[in-house]
């Protein structure tokens, strides 16, 4: 588990790509800003001038990686970008993306969101055949499959050949010197959308990033589809027979930005309705409703409206400290959380508070926030969760705790309530969740139900290369 403050499942990363614009680099930079919530560990941009690809990447936020002169020194009409929160591979600069490699057909840049459930076995097979890996991330497996494809000098064919061999949840942007590629896993677990620019095209993990660069949303990339974008326009190829789209339901609950749309549903509207369902099904007498910023604010306002209880800002989030790492000492950990969230004592003092949050994973942060509200003078704290109990680890591109660390995997609701210290605790039902996001549509619900969309190979871990022999040392 990566040492990040919080008790949330963390998204793997965000991908972005632009073709056919003189401002491709600037657009990619702004697109990554719009996707920063999907990954704060590293950022990178690769740009093609038509002859060669240049890459700039580094550890930290987009604003930390790219200085004033970096973009000025990069030019081209095609670029891809990536923000990362690692789910496979350790925290190393070598694992930052996009990945740039040189092989027999020239240069290849690749950015990837998700997890390949067969990455470890593919890597082992490739190593036995002589491949040398420079990173510990599953993205490099895809690059090696492209490079070793038997499709000869056909770049499109090599990409399709590689995509046909990987399994799991993924969204990919890639490019050679003259062509942009976008692809999505056969079940559409991880999101990827296509947009139109005045003078080109854009690919992005979320529609908010298309909006950020002035693009017009066209459609989602279909499950099992690859799109190839070059001077002739957009070509679509189905690299594997698609299955029913099963978008990760946590995109609605937590991952996506509120101004993004997923499968024709606005994320803010979905979260607000989840809050309404919570208030309708699980009411409680209280003086005010507050949400854990930022992802729970929409659900909290929906709860407040439905319950006819005033919504108040009970917690303030410090937005300027970037990623905060948990220190080994308990005191340092508590100060780090307090630095991120501060209660409004004058709002909370003497009040019965409904605290709305989107999920409880380990329970440690929920326990701390409940205690924070009590220290600020809250008379009662009623915790309401706008999703069902999180009981199973994810193998498709979300960084969650191990099964043993998931509090709902081994405890009943009353035991969890006692642990976090709330006066009452209630979760949204799975039926209400599905009713809001569309019960007629399939979603990946494995984190709630334990029913995975495909058989996960025995021995597979969330971090596929935890036992890889390669040791990259310290970042």
What is the C-alpha to C-alpha distance for residues 61 and 111, in angstroms, rounded to an integer?
Answer: 17
Would you please indicate which residues are annotated as catalytic (active-site) residues? 13
* CB-based burial label for 404 (10 Å; 0-12, 13-18, 19+): exposed
Contact status, residue 472 vs residue 136, Cβ threshold 8 Å = yes
Where are the strands (E) in 311-434, listed by range? 315-317, 341-343, 352-357, 380-385, 398-399, 424-427
197 in the Ramachandran plot: left (φ > 0), alpha (ψ -120 to 50) or beta? beta
Tell whether the torsion through CA atoms of 458, 459, 460 and 461 is positive or negative.
positive
* CB-based burial label for 281 (10 Å; 0-12, 13-18, 19+): middle
Token code pair at residue 26: 């600037």
Where are the strands (E) in 221-271, listed by range? 225-230, 233-238, 247-248, 261-262, 265-266
Other CB atoms within 10 Å distance of the CB of residue 410: 12
- Whether the bond into 294 is cis, omega within 30 of 0: yes
CB neighbour burial string for 245-279, b if at least 16 within 10 angstroms, e if fewer: bbbbbbbbbbbbbbebbbeebbbbebbbbbbbbbb
What is the C-alpha to C-alpha distance for residues 178 and 155, in angstroms, rounded to an integer?
Answer: 11
Return the biggest CA–CA distance within the chain: 72
Contact status, residue 468 vs residue 126, Cβ threshold 8 Å = no
């Amino acid at each position: 588990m990566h040492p990040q403050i919080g008790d949330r499942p963390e998204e793997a990363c965000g991908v972005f790509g632009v073709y056919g614009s003189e401002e491709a680099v600037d657009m990619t930079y702004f697109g990554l800003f719009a996707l920063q919530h999907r990954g704060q560990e590293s950022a990178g941009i690769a740009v093609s001038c038509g002859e060669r690809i240049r890459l700039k990447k580094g550890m930290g936020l987009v604003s930390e990686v790219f200085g004033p002169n970096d973009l000025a020194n990069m030019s081209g009409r095609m670029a891809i970008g990536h923000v990362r929160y690692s789910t496979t591979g350790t925290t190393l600069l070598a694992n930052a993306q996009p990945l740039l490699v040189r092989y027999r057909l020239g240069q290849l840049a690749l950015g990837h969101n998700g997890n390949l459930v067969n990455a470890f076995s593919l890597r082992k097979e490739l190593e036995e055949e002589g491949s040398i890996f420079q990173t510990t991330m599953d993205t490099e497996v895809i690059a090696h499959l492209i490079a070793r494809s038997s499709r000869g000098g056909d770049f499109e064919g090599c990409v399709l050949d590689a995509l046909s061999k990987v399994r799991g949840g993924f969204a990919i942007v890639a490019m050679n010197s003259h062509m942009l590629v976008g692809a999505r896993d056969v079940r559409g677990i991880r999101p990827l959308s296509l947009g139109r620019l005045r003078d080109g095209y854009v690919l992005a993990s979320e529609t908010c990033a298309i909006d950020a660069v002035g693009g017009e949303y066209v459609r989602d990339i279909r499950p099992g589809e690859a799109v190839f974008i070059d001077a002739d326009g957009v070509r679509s190829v189905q690299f594997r027979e698609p299955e029913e789209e099963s978008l990760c339901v946590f995109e609605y609950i937590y991952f996506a930005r509120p101004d993004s749309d997923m499968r024709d549903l606005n994320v803010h509207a979905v979260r607000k309705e989840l809050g309404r369902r919570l208030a309708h099904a699980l009411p409680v007498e209280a003086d005010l409703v507050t949400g854990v910023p930022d992802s729970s604010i929409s659900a909290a306002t929906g709860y407040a409206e439905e319950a006819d209880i005033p919504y108040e800002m009970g917690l303030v989030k410090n937005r300027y400290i970037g990623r905060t790492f948990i220190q080994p000492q308990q005191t340092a950990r508590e100060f780090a959380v307090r630095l991120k969230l501060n209660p409004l004592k004058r709002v909370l003092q003497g009040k019965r508070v409904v605290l709305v949050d989107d999920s409880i994973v380990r329970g440690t942060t929920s326990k701390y926030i409940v205690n924070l509200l009590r220290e600020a003078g809250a008379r009662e704290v009623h915790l309401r969760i706008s999703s069902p109990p999180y009981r199973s680890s994810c193998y498709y591109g979300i960084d969650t705790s191990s099964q043993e660390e998931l509090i709902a995997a081994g405890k009943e609701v009353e035991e969890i309530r006692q642990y976090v210290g709330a006066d009452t605790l209630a979760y949204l039902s799975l039926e209400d969740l599905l009713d809001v996001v569309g019960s007629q549509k399939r979603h990946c619900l494995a984190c709630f139900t334990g029913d995975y969309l495909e058989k996960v190979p025995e021995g597979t871990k969330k971090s596929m290369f935890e036992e890889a022999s390669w040791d990259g040392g310290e970042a």
